[in-house]
Amino acid sequence: MRILLTNDDGIFAEGITVLRKALERFGEIYVIAPDRERSAAGHSITVHRPLRVREAGFRSQWVRGWVVDGTPADCVKLGLEALLPEKPDLLISGINLGPNVGTDVLYSGTVSAAIEGIINGVPSVAVSLATHDEPDFTTAVVFVQELLPELARQVLPTGTLLNINIPPGTPRGARVTKLGNIRYVNVIDRRTDPRGRSYFWMAGEPLDLNDNDPDTDVRAVKEGFISITPVQIDLTDYLFMEKLKRWSLSWSREEFPRGKPAGLDLKLKERA
Ligand code: MN
């Protein structure tokens, strides 16, 4: 098996290091990860400056690695289009330090790396340890090792990744879940710097908006279960699409001048 490992915590983070060492004997391992922590980088890519890549120099005959001064999505793009000799059979992003559940997956560099994988047709899995306190990656590594033969047997649908969250401690089992809904409260902390100017620090406490829904990833992790969510990248709302088609938005090219919204000319005049 040819496996591409990446993350958003940086190539020297503990999570990706223990995973790399554990997977060595499963096949050809390629590690391509950011040179520093890029958590919450989302799916951003670097297009306004050059990307620098250097070999990580791991002391193993089965592992090759590169350090990139870019984002997780940059790492996957570089890997697939420039660095790997052949397309990998699997991409694993992680093991992230901290949970990636619910709405947070949209900000997550860990999940975005897996999304970049499936965009390019590579089966992809994102793995996160759902705690920041005294992290122990053992269970997460064991779970990934157990998942590998299953992933080799099964077929993931095109455009779908697995987002896995491992609870701290000994899990009570594993649950297939859906994404929950998290909002953060007290997000912006306004502080004052030594020169008397304001600055802002974004953090906040998560609030589970679907607290009474037993099927969410948020709930599974809270109850001590490993959470496995199939996440797809097609954000289209198919149900609403049909209703939207019935809105009166049927401008054709010929009608367009007449169909110009009333008030547009007025606005332009006001500005002039
Ligand atoms: Mn991270």
Contact 207, 181 (CB under 8 A): no
Tell me, letter by letter, the H, E, C secondary structure of 169-205. CCCCCEEECECCCEEEECCEEEEECCCCCEEEEECCE
Rounded distance from Cα 97 to ligand 1 centre (Å):
6
Residue 106: Cβ within 10 Å count:
13
Rounded distance from Cα 87 to ligand 1 centre (Å):
25
Rounded distance from Cα 131 to ligand 1 centre (Å):
11
Rounded distance from Cα 203 to ligand 1 centre (Å):
14
Distance, CA of 117 to CA of 15 (rounded, Å): 19
Rounded distance from Cα 213 to ligand 1 centre (Å):
26
Q: What is the pLDDT of residue 252?
A: 64
Distance, CA of 125 to CA of 106 (rounded, Å): 15
Which residues are known binding-site members? 8-9, 39, 96
Give residue 247's pLDDT band: very low, low, confident or very high (50, 70, 90): confident
Give the contacts of 184 (CB within 8 A, at least 6 positions apart). Answer: 203, 204, 205, 206, 207
Which residues are known binding-site members for a divalent metal cation? 8-9, 39, 96
**Average pLDDT for 159-174:** 97
Amino acid identity of 115?
I
Residues 36-92: tens digit of each pLDDT: 999 999 999 999 999 999 999 998 889 999 999 999 999 999 999 999 999 999 999
Distance, CA of 183 to CA of 207 (rounded, Å): 5
Query: What domains can you pick out in the chain, each with its CATH number?
Result: 2-180+213-238 (3.40.1210.10)
Rounded distance from Cα 16 to ligand 1 centre (Å):
11
Residues 10-35: tens digit of each pLDDT: 999 999 999 999 999 888 999 999 99
Rounded distance from Cα 37 to ligand 1 centre (Å):
7
**Average pLDDT for 101-122:** 97
Contact 117, 144 (CB under 8 A): no
Residues 184-227: tens digit of each pLDDT: 998 999 999 999 999 999 988 888 888 789 999 999 999 999 99
Rounded distance from Cα 15 to ligand 1 centre (Å):
10
Find out whether the peptide bond into 95 is cis, omega within 30 degrees of 0: yes
